[in-house]
Structure 1
């Protein structure tokens, strides 16, 4: 089965998840609203520079944006060191729980 990736749909979903309008995104990236609409409707393709800016704005990797990776990520660069450590501990706990659940199957 061939899976078709929809770049524009992913962009639109990420924008809505952040509760941003196309106008707000265009203002933050200093590009036109029609460009954002064009990206979301797969009419135009953003430049590499804009793809990087979109990934940073939405807190995802460029690979995720481009459909090369479907794993969502958590951006922790804006957190304090204490908050980062809590996130690391939680991730390790989830991994351990997942590993134990797989062993008990």
Structure 2
């Protein structure tokens, strides 16, 4: 479900509700309401959320499985480097 996906993606990246709200230009209460499944985001915000986390809207809506990498045993610095590499690869894919 959408609310679970948003919470999972946010926490996996170590982003607080306040930080996510700031990045999306919404209130912390909006993020809290999405994650509590009290309200749904607009289509425009759904697209922004997908772009921010580097996933598709289909993934957010539970229509596309997410592939996961096991980073257990890696240092925090190594994980950050992997995240940067993945973002660079995604940017290259979007530009082609």
Which one has more relative contact order, counting CA pairs under 8 Å at least 6 apart? 2
Which residue, out of 10, 34, 59, partners 2:54? 59
Which residue, out of 15, 18, 24, partners 2:19? 24
Q: Which residue is 2:81 aligned to? A: none
Report deviation, 1:9: 1.2
Asked whether the 8 Å contact 1:64–1:72 carries over to 2, the reply is: no
TM-score (normalised: structure 1):
0.64
Which residue, out of 18, 31, 34, partners 1:36? 31
Can you give the 5+ residue segments of structure 1 that lack an aligned partner in the other structure?
Answer: 1-5, 80-105
Asked whether the 8 Å contact 1:60–1:72 carries over to 2, the reply is: no
Can you give the 5+ residue segments of structure 2 that lack an aligned partner in the other structure?
Answer: 69-85
The CA distance in 2 between the partners of 1:71 and 1:45, in whole Å, is 21
- Following TM superposition, the consecutive aligned residue runs of length 4 or more in structure 1 with deviations greater than 3 angstroms are 71-75
Asked whether the 8 Å contact 2:7–2:35 carries over to 1, the reply is: yes
Aligned positions of 1:42-53 closer than 5 A: 42-53=37-48
- Please tell me whether Structure 1 or Structure 2 has the larger radius of gyration of its CA atoms: 1
The CA distance in 2 between the partners of 1:68 and 1:35, in whole Å, is 23
The C-alpha deviation readout for 1:2-61, integer Å capped at 9, x for no partner, is xxxx22111100001111000000000100000000111110000000000000111111
Q: 1:33 to 1:59 in 2, by over 3 A?
A: same
